[in-house]
């Protein structure tokens, strides 16, 4: 009897041990994979801060021999980065205000009103997600040029102000707001816009946060459309500037990596502080 118990204990002990080893192996391989994923950002940093001649060393050095912080200042001064950052921030911030407002309004409408043509219009909007901008980039450019918006902030902001992804996201969220609340406000005599402003918006904090963050990211990272509209170097945004820097006759990798790192810093900071909003936004709609 006791022998049998002993045997059972032994088997379960062995099983536990092998489970533990298995878990450890899994954990280590995940960590190794994570290190590989993190490496490019680390390597940007190392390349940016090490002495410039060190990047030509034939042997691999994972750690810089010394930290040359002045690389960042020198890199910044090689091209009009100050102007480019002003442009990028201005475009992203103005776009956030416009897009968030009109997308909230439209998303709310698709979620809470029943009107003739609603489903057709909504499907039409969603179907635009599949179409790459290059399909209609030629006429779009001709229209923007006709409006005199080449090389202006408006030329970048307005054509991208309505984001189908944003409308979809807001609609998904606002469907969960109880109709009774809206109906009660309506009976109290509130106007439709007041209902939106005083009843719906205060309940929509999380989706507004997601929308702000994503709109900022889309505009900050945008390339395909700005490179068509912004043709003068003065008008460039940061990604266009980086592309110009790389396209120069001789690529100065130290400076290029320094400026690339600086360009992703705003997004990395937003990501670190608001990660859960990114996760929510992506998990809910698949937007990127």
Partner 1 sequence: MQRRPLQKGTGELRIRIRRWWQRHQRRLIPYLFITPNMIVFAAFMFIPILYAFYISFHDWSLIGTSQFIGLGNYFNMMQDDLFWQVLINTAIYTLGTVPTSMILGLGVAILLNRWIPARGILRSIFFMPVVISGVAVALVASWIFNDHYGIINNTLRQMGSDPIPWLSSPTWAMPSLIIATLWTRIGFCMVIYLAGLQSIPSSYYDAAQVDGASSWKQFRYITWPLLGPTTFFLLIINVIYSFHVFDLIYVMTGGGPGFSTTVIVQYIYQAAFQTGQMGYAAAMGVVLYFIILAFTAIQWRISRQGESIE
> Contacting partner 1 (CB under 8 A), which of 59, 66, 179, 232?
59
Based on the shown chain and the rule CB under 8 A, indicate whether residue 273 belongs to the binding site for partner 1.
no
The distance of closest approach from Cβ of residue 98 to partner 1 in the complex, given in angstroms and rounded to an integer, is 8
231: left (phi over 0), alpha (psi -120 to 50) or beta: alpha
Residues 6+ apart with CB under 8 A from 46: 62, 63, 64
Query: Which of 162, 201, 208, 212 touches partner 1 by CB under 8 A?
Result: 162
Q: What is the H or E stretch that residue 52 is in? A: none
> Per the structure block, which two tokens stand in for 80?
């009009």
5 binds partner 1 (CB under 8 A): no
Interface with partner 1, residue 135, by CB under 8 A: yes
112 vs 63, 106, 198, CA distance in Å? 57, 10, 15
Q: Give the residue with the Cβ less far from partner 1, 1 or 53.
A: 53
Instruction: Please tell me whether residue 177 binds partner 1 under the rule CB under 8 A.
Output: no
Using CB under 8 A as the criterion, what x/- string covers residues 68-97 for binding partner 1?
------------------------------
C-alpha 141/C-alpha 149 separation (Å) is 9
Residue 156 binds to partner 1 (criterion: CB under 8 A): no
Stretch that binds partner 1, among 68-76, 102-110, 174-182, 199-207 (CB under 8 A): 102-110
Place of tokens 């999380």: 206
Q: How far apart are CA 215 and CA 220, in angstroms?
A: 8
Query: Within 216-255, which residues bind partner 1 (CB under 8 A)?
Result: 217, 220-221, 223-224, 227-228, 239, 242-243, 246, 253
Which stretch in 89-97, 176-184, 199-207, 265-273 sits in contact with partner 1 by CB under 8 A?
265-273
Residue 51, H or E segment: none
- Please give the residues from 17 up to 56 whose contact with partner 1 meets the rule CB under 8 A: 23, 26-27, 30-31, 33-34, 37-38, 40-41, 43-44, 47, 55-56
For partner 1, which is the closer residue by CB, 19 or 77?
19
- H helical segments located in the chain: 2-49, 70-78, 81-112, 118-127, 137-146, 153-157, 164-174, 179-187, 192-194, 201-203, 205-221, 226-229, 238-247, 253-273, 275-285
Q: Is 208 in the site for partner 1 (CB under 8 A)?
A: no
């Amino acid at each position: 009897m006791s022998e049998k118990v002993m045997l059972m204990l032994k088997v379960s002990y062995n099983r536990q041990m092998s489970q533990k080893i298995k878990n450890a192996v899994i954990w280590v391989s995940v960590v190794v994979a994570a290190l590989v994923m993190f490496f490019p950002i680390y390597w940007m940093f190392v390349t940016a801060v090490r002495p410039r001649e060190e990047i030509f060393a034939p042997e691999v050095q994972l750690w810089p021999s010394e930290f040359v912080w002045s690389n960042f200042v020198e890199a910044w001064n090689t091209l009009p980065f100050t102007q480019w950052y002003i442009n990028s921030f201005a475009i992203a911030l103005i776009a956030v205000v416009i897009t968030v407002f009109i997308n909230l309004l439209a998303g709310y409408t698709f979620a809470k009103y029943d009107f003739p043509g609603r489903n057709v219009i909504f499907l039409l909007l969603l179907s635009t997600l599949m179409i790459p901008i290059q399909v209609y980039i030629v006429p779009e450019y001709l229209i923007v040029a006709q409006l005199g918006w080449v090389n202006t902030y408006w030329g970048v902001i307005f054509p991208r102000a309505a984001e189908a992804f944003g409308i979809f996201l807001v609609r998904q969220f606002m469907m969960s707001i109880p109709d009774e609340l809206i109906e009660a406000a309506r009976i109290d005599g509130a106007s439709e816009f007041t209902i939106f402003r005083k009843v719906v918006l205060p309940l929509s904090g999380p989706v507004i946060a997601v929308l702000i963050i994503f709109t900022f990211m889309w505009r900050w990272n945008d390339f395909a459309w700005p490179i068509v509209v912004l043709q003068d170097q003065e008008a460039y945004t940061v990604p266009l500037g980086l592309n110009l820097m790389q396209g120069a006759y001789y690529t100065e990798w130290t400076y290029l990596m320094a400026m690339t790192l600086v360009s992703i810093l705003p997004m990395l900071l937003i990501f670190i502080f608001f990660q859960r909003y990114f996760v929510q936004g992506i998990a809910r709609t698949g937007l990127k």
